[in-house]
Structure 1
Amino acid sequence: MAPDPHARAAFETSSPAARPAAAPAERPQPLPRRRKARRLVVTVAVALVVAAGTAVPLALRGGDTHGQPARVPDATGVAAHPDQSPPRELIAAGGVAVSAYYTAKLVRQPDGNAIGTYEWSLLDTATGRYRKTDWAWLDVAPGTRTAAVLERDLPVGRIGLLNLATGKVQRWIKVDRSVGSVRFSPDGKRLLATAYRLNPDGLFKDAPYRLNGETVPGSKQSRTGFYVIDVASGRADFAERPAEKSAAPVGGRQDFSWSRDGELVWEAGGNSAGRIYYDLTGKRKPAPDEEAPASGPEGIRSPDGTLVTGAFVGEGDDIVSEIRKAKTGERATVVPGQQLLAWADNSHLIAWRCDPGQCSPGKGEFRNRLLLVGLDGKTTPLSGFRTANLQDEGRWTPLLTRR
């Protein structure tokens, strides 16, 4: 059944920008008008934005002790396929791999409701290729050996631990309250699962709101709290933390994320820090010092902690983003890219960058590809170009994981 365009519009605009699993939202960066040294304010809606709690930098995990060893190239090398989009074979650089990717679509339901649906392709480490799956949601542990998976018809009452080399679920962890997202801790030893009463990606006819002068289905806030689950034992401790009510339209998906050290969890907030922190029992806590990078809440620190990613700062024909010193906030350098996604090592990053020949606003600024960019400005294409249409159902979004 074809998606309802009004429902799709509601899905795209009703929630704060976000991303499933460990990655940030696809945030189209404003580009300058070519031949003019000023930036354009881009007002186009982000395609299929969901998961209010995940509009943040990629959380690259540490180690994983579950499953069989992943058959991936040397972690210091580069696996690039600049002719593939979406990728069919492993993309990786330095300590980071594209462990999975998804495409998204909105499906109309017979009762007038709609559901945002993710189509995941997961790395098969035995072959080094990506394989389509039917999981509704997933995250990959550091080491790229194990994935945590959720079945269709979210929220669900169990979490699967899947071996990436075999594609088989090795074990199920049952929970009393249904969950709609799951992500591994930085050390891969625990899971953080956000609990919901309703499908967090649902749009409901009986929760309408006005969009562009028309009434469209809206989302419902149904988050109840979160589980912290020990992977080895399966012990699941629940913390009650329902979504705060808001007068403005917000998304139904409001996931929690891990802090960098795995000692706290956080959700996206409207405060100056951009995040609200809690301990593992759900008690609110102040933001840790190391969680307040000099470049803002979405800054990503280098592995050695000395540098942090900054904002897009391109002017004229330059398509560049800044790198700042973590301690002082001073600009260290600028590197090619619209959006810096992850550090491959201390001197290279993985980034989105549009086609330099087609980057004029309204033409091809969202026709971008994954690049490996160095602090010296050198670039290596990692993937082919995505379509420039943000609403294209074939537009893929990667999940990056420490390998």
Structure 2
Amino acid sequence: MTFDELVRDTLHEQAASARPAPADLAERVLARRVRRRNRGLTAAVVAVAAVTAAVITPTALDRGGNGPSESSGVSGVESHPSQSPPLDRIAAGDQVLAAYYSTRSVRQPDHDVIQTRTYHLLNPRTGRYTSDPRWSDVAVAPGLRTAVVIEQTLPARRVGLLDLATDQVTRWIPVPQGAGAVAVSPDGGKAVVTTYDQNPNRLFWAKRSMVNDTYQPRAEYSRTGFAVVDLPSGASQWHPVAPDVSVPFEAFPRSGSALLFSADGSLLMDRRMTAPVTVFRRLDGTAVPAPGREKYEDTEGVPAGLSPDGTLMAGGSAGHGWSTATEVLDPVTGKRVALQRGEVLLAWVDDRHLIAWDIMPGSTNEFGTRLVLVTVGGSKEVPLSGPRHTTTDEPSPGGWEPVFAHR
């Protein structure tokens, strides 16, 4: 299959109204953890027993009642609650775990640290995840045929179009300004490549800060701008945008610096770790007011954002009798519409169901979480993966971070 055929099929197969989960899910969750840790929250390691893998039918979904009316169920749920990290495809409705990655800290001779990702990509032919250590960042286009990839040595001078079925790069697109992060537009036709003048995954000992009574290296502000790439043609245009240097402490690379697309793909979202959390920009980099239904976007670092029909907004943690609870907001007023289970809302499955990280029952450890399917206003959940266990505050040692895309 040629590149043009690949892109054409991808664009044809994805639904016109579908909104892919943001490509920077992990960065946004990490930023949220930084804010929570700065408010004095800590975590402990808890071992949890895994349960038998299963494919869940719509009848297994909960029927919560303290929010908007729920849909009749979700079809196509593929659940593997005994697998962590996953081996076989995890999916719910149109939303698929297209990839996941783990991060390890590679210490350098000068005491700097490079946080290196290892991706596991879903092969659409086999339905299984395969390790691919070539890439530092991966954004999967709707349709699950193509991914935009960046090589490990950063900043990279090109991005690749990867055929997920063959594991081959079909085209290299030059980015002479230095690629460091990538996201794909909701329609799959464009990519925004955030550029840097040095490795955004490097933590510098010279910039060290005190963290939990120990000096730790920290990231440098090295963003230079972004390039919007037309994927069918490979044409791109670069625009300068400086990083937000008001952040007092940036513990994780790229947090608050990588750009992504708004819900309809007409604008870019520039994430920050301090208010305002999201700055909206035109595709030429000009800052503009937030669209009406996205003015409360990501106030707590929540990846899911706006629901597909635009009537609900994923919110942050909320107090409740459950071990963890999150809220769903009215995107126009910012007021709470409903409560449901979930520690972090990751991606909308449809207008009334989401995929979330949630803490295992009986646990208080936010790192000992599993993927679950939750319903807006529901008090129950359907496990999708086994629990991940992390032992430190690093991004994902012993754990993994998801990358979602639409079928």
Q: Which residue of 2 aligns with 1:5?
A: none
Deviates more, 1:365-374 or 1:94-103: 365-374
Letter in 1 for 2:340: V
How far apart, in 2, do the equivalents of 1:30 and 1:21 lie?
Answer: 17
Q: Which residue of 359, 362, 369 corresponds with 1:357? A: 362
SS in 2 for 1:356: coil
How far apart, in 2, do the equivalents of 1:116 and 1:46 lie?
Answer: 22
Letter in 1 for 2:382: T
Q: Which residue of 1 aligns with 2:60?
A: none
Structure 1 unaligned residues grouped into runs of 5+: 1-18, 32-40, 48-74
> What CA RMSD, in Å, does the superposition of the two structures yield over aligned residues?
2.9
How far apart, in 2, do the equivalents of 1:374 and 1:171 lie?
Answer: 40
2:91 aligned with 1:97, yes or no?
Answer: no
- 1:331 is displaced (CA, Å) by 3.2
- 1:320 is displaced (CA, Å) by 2.1
- 1:394 is displaced (CA, Å) by 1.9
- 1:42 is displaced (CA, Å) by 5.1
2:280 aligned with 1:282, yes or no?
Answer: no
- 1:170 is displaced (CA, Å) by 0.9
- 1:29 is displaced (CA, Å) by 11
How far apart, in 2, do the equivalents of 1:115 and 1:194 lie?
Answer: 18
Instruction: Please show how residues 47-62 of structure 1 align to structure 2 within 5 Å.
Output: none
2:49 aligned with 1:44, yes or no?
Answer: no
Matched residue count:
345
SS in 2 for 1:25: helix
SS in 1 for 2:362: helix
SS in 2 for 1:81: coil
CA contact (8 A) 1:258 1:264 kept: yes
* Cα deviation digits, residues 231-281 of structure 1 (max 9, x gap): 011111000112244483436522112122222212123664411222222
Letter in 2 for 1:283: T
Q: Which residue of 1 aligns with 2:307?
A: 302
Q: Which residue of 2 aligns with 1:257?
A: 260
How far apart, in 2, do the equivalents of 1:46 and 1:159 lie?
Answer: 39
Judged with a 3 Å threshold, the aligned counterparts in structure 2 of structure 1 residues 87 and 217 are, in CA distance, closer, same or farther, namely: same
Judged with a 3 Å threshold, the aligned counterparts in structure 2 of structure 1 residues 189 and 80 are, in CA distance, closer, same or farther, namely: same
Judged with a 3 Å threshold, the aligned counterparts in structure 2 of structure 1 residues 317 and 285 are, in CA distance, closer, same or farther, namely: closer
Instruction: Please show how residues 111-122 of structure 1 align to structure 2 within 5 Å.
Output: 111-122=110-121
How far apart, in 2, do the equivalents of 1:294 and 1:193 lie?
Answer: 21
- 1:79 is displaced (CA, Å) by 0.7
Deviates more, 1:307-316 or 1:145-154: 307-316
CA contact (8 A) 2:322 2:341 kept: no
How far apart, in 1, do the equivalents of 2:277 and 2:308 lie?
Answer: 22
- 1:176 is displaced (CA, Å) by 1.7
- 1:127 is displaced (CA, Å) by 0.3
Normalised by the length of structure 1, the TM-score is 0.77
CA contact (8 A) 1:78 1:94 kept: yes
Q: Which residue of 2 aligns with 1:59?
A: none
Q: Which residue of 1 aligns with 2:3?
A: none
2:168 aligned with 1:164, yes or no?
Answer: no
Deviates more, 1:154-163 or 1:219-228: 219-228
- 1:387 is displaced (CA, Å) by 1.1
SS in 1 for 2:157: strand
SS in 1 for 2:191: strand
Judged with a 3 Å threshold, the aligned counterparts in structure 2 of structure 1 residues 315 and 28 are, in CA distance, closer, same or farther, namely: farther
Deviates more, 1:300-309 or 1:92-101: 300-309
Normalised by the length of structure 2, the TM-score is 0.77
- 1:104 is displaced (CA, Å) by 0.8
Q: Which residue of 1 aligns with 2:182?
A: 182
Q: Which residue of 2 aligns with 1:387?
A: 389
How far apart, in 2, do the equivalents of 1:373 and 1:46 lie?
Answer: 25
Judged with a 3 Å threshold, the aligned counterparts in structure 2 of structure 1 residues 304 and 112 are, in CA distance, closer, same or farther, namely: same
Q: Which residue of 2 aligns with 1:55?
A: none
- 1:173 is displaced (CA, Å) by 0.6
2:374 aligned with 1:373, yes or no?
Answer: yes
- 1:76 is displaced (CA, Å) by 3.6
How far apart, in 1, do the equivalents of 2:372 and 2:197 lie?
Answer: 39
How far apart, in 2, do the equivalents of 1:46 and 1:238 lie?
Answer: 44
Judged with a 3 Å threshold, the aligned counterparts in structure 2 of structure 1 residues 349 and 29 are, in CA distance, closer, same or farther, namely: farther
* Cα deviation digits, residues 320-345 of structure 1 (max 9, x gap): 22223334444333211112111111
Q: Which residue of 332, 341, 347 corresponds with 2:346? A: 341
2:404 aligned with 1:400, yes or no?
Answer: yes
How far apart, in 1, do the equivalents of 2:262 and 2:23 lie?
Answer: 16
How far apart, in 1, do the equivalents of 2:139 and 2:285 lie?
Answer: 22
Structure 2 unaligned residues grouped into runs of 5+: 1-21, 46-73
How far apart, in 2, do the equivalents of 1:29 and 1:319 lie?
Answer: 18
Deviates more, 1:327-336 or 1:369-378: 327-336
